[in-house]
Structure 1
Amino acid sequence: MYHGIATCFLDSIFQQGLVAGLRHYVPLSADEATAIKVGQRHGKPGILKINAQLMHEQGFKFHQADNGVWLTKSVSVKYISFN
């Protein structure tokens, strides 16, 4: 899965992972194109690749919203990569 971000947030993300903050969940996209659109909202876009399969295997829960977005409570740094 993917998470679109503004690249100015990379340092913070790689220190604390993805956290819901004021939201109840961290939104994840099934495709890169959607993630890019999300990342463009707040500056220069970047795409984080999330190892959701490993997260699921290790007991993390995911829910799919009516709009197709996948939701989870948080994503630890160890499941995140950025190219």
Structure 2
Amino acid sequence: MSAPLSRDQVRLSRRVSMVLRHRPESVGITLDRNGWVPVDTLTAALGITRSELEAVVDGNDKSRFVIEDDRIRASQGHSRRVNVDLDLIPADPPPVLYHGTPSANLEPIMREGLRPRSRTHVHLSPDTSTATRVGSRRSPDVAILRVDTAAMTEAGRIFYRSANGVWLTDAVPPAYLSR
């Protein structure tokens, strides 16, 4: 297991995430149709070394990035405006998954369901501790929602599992949510 990232490495990780998931044009790069970009192209655009990038990739506790051969991409979490095909294969989820959100969001979510908003998919967690950690990024007051994925699958809803273990789906209607 890697040592925790330094403050500068966390800052760089956030920058890499922003570029690969949301705004590649902000540093003058273009992702291929599957979200990949040559490592050398990204490091040159960011003004960093390959070893600095690899330290951030290896030290990221959420495995947000994948380096394969001489290319890199984000595992998931792309904005809709970044049109990439991650070649996700439908997968059978466990019977229940979880979603952590600030408690202030609870009422509209229970009324309207979970929607991807500016992202391509809704992100779901395999356990409550992960959902709590994800939800607490935006607020210390977190509500954990239980998602009845067994019923969703039976109704024909499709799920995917990203390279870093995050479960993805297009939306979760309110009928499949509980506290």
TM-score tier, shorter chain, comes to over 0.9
Give the 3-state SS of the residue equivalent to 1:74 in structure 2.
coil
Task: Name the amino acid aligned to 1:49.
Answer: R
SS in 2 for 1:18: coil
Larger proportion of strand: 1
- Asked if 1:48 corresponds to 2:173, the answer is no
- Structure 1 residue 16: deviation in Å? 0.8
Distance between the aligned counterparts of 2:150 and 2:156, measured in 1?
10
Q: Which has the higher Rg, Structure 1 or Structure 2?
A: 2
Output the CA distance in 2 between the equivalents of 1:28 and 1:14: 16
1:20-66 per-position Cα deviation (integer Å, ceiling 9, x unaligned): 00000000011111000011011111100000011001100000001
* Structure 2: gaps (5+ residues): 1-96
- Aligned pairs, number: 82
Between the aligned partners of 1:57 and 1:11, the Cα distance in structure 2 is: 26
Q: Does 1:16 align with 2:112?
A: yes
Is 2:122 aligned against 1:26?
yes
Q: Does 1:66 pair with 2:163?
A: yes
How many angstroms apart in 2 are the aligned matches of 1:11 and 1:32? 20
Higher relative contact order (CA 8 A, sep 6+): 1
Question: Equivalent of 2:131, from 10, 21, 35?
Answer: 35
RMSD of the alignment, in Å? 0.6
Please, which runs of 5 or more residues in structure 1 have no aligned partner? Answer: none
Query: Percent identity over the alignment?
Result: 39
Counterpart Cα distance in 2 of 1:19 and 1:11: 14
Over 2 Å off, 4+ runs: none
Structure 2 distance, partners of 1:46, 1:13, is: 11
TM-score (normalised: structure 2): 0.45
User: Match of 1:7?
Assistant: 103
Give SS of 2:136's match: helix
- Normalization by structure 1: what TM-score? 0.96
